Chain A
Amino acid sequence: MKTRIKEFRARYNLTQAELAEKVGVRRETIVFLEKGKYNPSLKLAHDISIVLKAKIEDIFIFDNGNIENVD
Chain B
Amino acid sequence: MIDKKIIDPYRVSMWLGSAILIILAVYMIIWKTVDDFIAIMVLVGILIIVVNFLSYIGMEKPKDERLKKIGTLAATYSWYITLAFMCFLLFSGYYSHRVFKPAELFGLVIFVMISTMLVINECLNLKGDVE
Is the C-beta of A35 less than 8 angstroms from some C-beta in chain B? yes
Instruction: Give bound CA distance, A37 to B124, whole Å.
Output: 11
Q: How far is the CB of B62 from chain A (nearest CB, A)?
A: 6
Is the C-beta of B36 less than 8 angstroms from some C-beta in chain A? no
Instruction: Give bound CA distance, A28 to B2, whole Å.
Output: 11
Is the C-beta of B65 less than 8 angstroms from some C-beta in chain A? yes
Is the C-beta of B99 less than 8 angstroms from some C-beta in chain A? no
Q: Interface residues of B: mostly helix, strand, loop or mixed?
A: loop
A35-B128, A38-B129, A39-B131 are contacts. A25–B3 as well, Cβ < 8 Å? no
Q: Interface size of A by Cβ–Cβ distance < 8 Å?
A: 22
Q: How far is the CB of B57 from chain A (nearest CB, A)?
A: 12
Do B1 and A29 touch (CB < 8 A)? no
Within 8 A of A (CB), among B44-96: 58, 62-67
Instruction: Give bound CA distance, A7 to B127, whole Å.
Output: 23
Do A17 and B129 touch (CB < 8 A)? no
Q: Which of B1, B8, B58, B66 contacts A38 (CB 8 A)?
A: B66
Query: CB-CB contacts of B88-112 with A at 8 A, as 1s and 0s?
Result: 0000000000000000000000000
Instruction: Give bound CA distance, A48 to B8, whole Å.
Output: 23
Query: CB-CB contacts of B1-24 with A at 8 A, as 1s and 0s?
Result: 111001010000000000000000
Q: Which of B58, B62, B65 contacts A41 (CB 8 A)?
A: B65
Do A25 and B129 touch (CB < 8 A)? no
Within 8 A of B (CB), among A19-56: 24-29, 32, 35, 37-41, 43-44
Do A28 and B1 touch (CB < 8 A)? no
| 24 pairs, CB–CB < 8 Å, chain A vs chain B | A10-B1, A15-B1, A15-B3, A16-B2, A25-B64, A25-B65, A25-B66, A26-B67, A27-B3, A27-B6, A28-B66, A29-B64, A29-B66, A29-B67, A32-B129, A35-B128, A37-B127, A38-B66, A38-B128, A38-B129, A39-B129, A39-B131, A43-B65, A44-B65
